[in-house]
């Protein structure tokens, strides 16, 4: 068997260390970067095609075959997470993909979505096939929505909130609502109070506060101090929590990892050395070796953020 090409990236990536989902085996279902939003904080970078049109972006069986091969190799994961390089609900074959995953494994399925298309019945039906849906709500009004999320012209904050409310009414699984905070943009007391009113209508199982711990699409987006996040969490109340740190690395001796796995991780999200160790199941020394090789090949770059070095693939 020939060695995998380190520059070849398929549909499956990880397991990636997730601060919310543990070890997350990702499926990338939309080309980079097609999205309904162009969020200023996005760790993948600027949206290159802003769209609200659902399309079939891939052959479902190809993805399922790749997933089956990955699982047959002994990969362990807490969730199979559908997300990746764009907004996953733009893929019109999302429901068929989840049906196929159910035939392969009993690992729970999560969808990470910005929630903007949940006002549509077909999108809600597809997402309802998952065990866990992790949507976002970063703004309480149109001005903050435009400032933080920069939506497509036919997406409004009213559509977003109403879609989340309807999905909660129809979905028996878990909804973990992420709220990404940017100091001075959506953190004023009146903004938090308005967000709280929306959240009370949506009734998520968890509310998770997040801020910029990785390099963002726009400069100047900084992490918010934990003490400040704790104050906001108390203001929101209920099931509100602060997203924690990534899990510690653990070894996985039964699975052969390659440089392509490292590159696949870094294509989807900037990572620290520790993230690579946790996601691939390798030692720090081995991770450093692969990172150094990819830097020498100019396949990746390093970026400082808050005194920490992150690695990511070069922008196109």
pLDDT tens string for the chain (316 positions)?
333 343 344 788 878 777 778 888 999 899 888 999 999 988 778 899 999 999 999 899 999 999 999 999 888 899 999 987 899 999 999 999 999 999 999 999 999 999 999 999 999 999 999 999 999 999 999 999 999 999 999 999 999 999 999 999 999 999 999 999 998 899 999 999 999 999 999 999 999 999 887 767 777 788 888 889 999 999 998 889 998 434 444 444 333 346 788 888 888 888 888 888 777 767 676 788 888 888 888 889 988 887 788 998 887 6
Q: How many domains does the chain have?
A: 1
Residues recorded for the chain: 316
**Does the residue 263 lie in any domain?**
no
**Does the residue 64 lie in any domain?**
yes
Query: What is residue 4's predicted lDDT score, i.e. its pLDDT?
Result: 38
Distance of CA 208 to the CA centre of its chain: 13
**Does the residue 205 lie in any domain?**
yes
**Does the residue 24 lie in any domain?**
yes
**Does the residue 178 lie in any domain?**
yes
Whole-angstrom distance, CA of residue 314 vs CA of residue 299 = 6
- From the list 63, 69, 56, the residue with the least C-alpha distance to 82 is 63
Query: What is residue 264's predicted lDDT score, i.e. its pLDDT?
Result: 82
**Does the residue 229 lie in any domain?**
yes
**Does the residue 204 lie in any domain?**
yes
Task: Find the CATH number of the domain harbouring 168.
Answer: 3.20.20.70
Buried b / exposed e across 126-146, counting CB within 10 Å, b at 16+?
bbbbbebbbbbbbbbbeebbe
Q: Which domain holds residue 235?
A: 20-244
Query: What is residue 8's predicted lDDT score, i.e. its pLDDT?
Result: 42
- pTM recorded for the entire structure: 0.78
User: Could you tell me if 81 and 110 are in contact, meaning their C-beta atoms sit under 8 angstroms apart?
Assistant: yes
Whole-angstrom distance, CA of residue 144 vs CA of residue 162 = 17
**Does the residue 198 lie in any domain?**
yes
Query: What is residue 132's predicted lDDT score, i.e. its pLDDT?
Result: 98
Whole-angstrom distance, CA of residue 176 vs CA of residue 274 = 25
């Amino acid at each position: 068997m020939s060695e995998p090409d380190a520059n070849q990236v398929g549909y499956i990536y990880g397991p990636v260390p997730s601060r919310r989902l543990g070890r997350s085996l990702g499926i990338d279902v939309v080309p980079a970067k097609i999205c309904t939003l162009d969020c200023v904080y996005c760790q993948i970078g600027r949206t290159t095609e802003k769209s609200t049109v659902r399309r079939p972006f891939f052959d479902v069986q190809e993805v399922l075959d790749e997933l089956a091969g990955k699982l047959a190799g002994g990969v362990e994961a807490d969730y199979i997470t559908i997300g990746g390089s764009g907004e996953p609900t733009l893929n019109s074959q999302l429901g068929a993909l989840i049906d196929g995953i159910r035939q392969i494994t009993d690992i729970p399925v999560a969808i990470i979505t910005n929630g903007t298309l949940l006002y549509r019945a077909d999108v809600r039906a597809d997402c309802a096939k998952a065990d866990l849906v992790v949507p976002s709500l970063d703004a309480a009004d149109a001005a903050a929505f435009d400032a933080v999320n920069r939506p497509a012209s036919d997406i409004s904050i009213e559509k977003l909130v109403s879609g989340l409310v309807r999905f909660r009414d129809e979905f028996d699984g878990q909804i973990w609502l992420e709220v990404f905070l940017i100091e001075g943009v959506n953190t004023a007391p009146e903004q938090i109070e308005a967000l709280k009113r929306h959240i009370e209508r949506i009734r998520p199982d968890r509310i998770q506060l997040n801020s910029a711990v990785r390099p963002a699409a726009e400069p100047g987006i900084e992490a918010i101090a934990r003490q400040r996040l704790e104050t906001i969490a108390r203001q929101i109340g209920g099931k509100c929590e602060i997203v924690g740190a990534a899990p510690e690395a653990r070894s996985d001796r039964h699975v052969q990892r390659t440089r392509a796995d490292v590159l696949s991780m870094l294509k989807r999200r900037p990572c620290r050395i520790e993230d690579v160790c946790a996601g691939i199941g390798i030692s720090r020394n081995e991770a450093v070796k692969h990172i150094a090789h990819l830097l020498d090949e100019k396949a990746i770059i390093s970026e400082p953020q808050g005194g920490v070095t992150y690695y990511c693939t070069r922008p196109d």
